[in-house]
Structure 1
């Protein structure tokens, strides 16, 4: 069991703009579904704009 002691990094001050954040680089299912829906919506809106009499 570890003892709780003073934090060795307590005096280290890093500006918030320089802190590294963990970024997940994998494409999740939610991202892929969102991209497909967005592309379909843009395509539909473009077709409706070009041919308004059909919609």
Structure 2
């Protein structure tokens, strides 16, 4: 039973990797960095906000 579940998991992973590669080969102009964002061009406004950690006071 364990071998079947592992086989199904590996098969699903191979399917999704293959699908992503297939789409990349069919439409190379639509490739992105894969980060889930709208593109890889950095936003110039993103550098304005620089969060800092609060000072630790014992």
TM-score, normalised on structure 1? 0.48
- Higher helix residue share: 2
TM-score, normalised on structure 2? 0.46
Task: Report which of the two structures shows the higher radius of gyration computed on alpha carbons.
Answer: 1
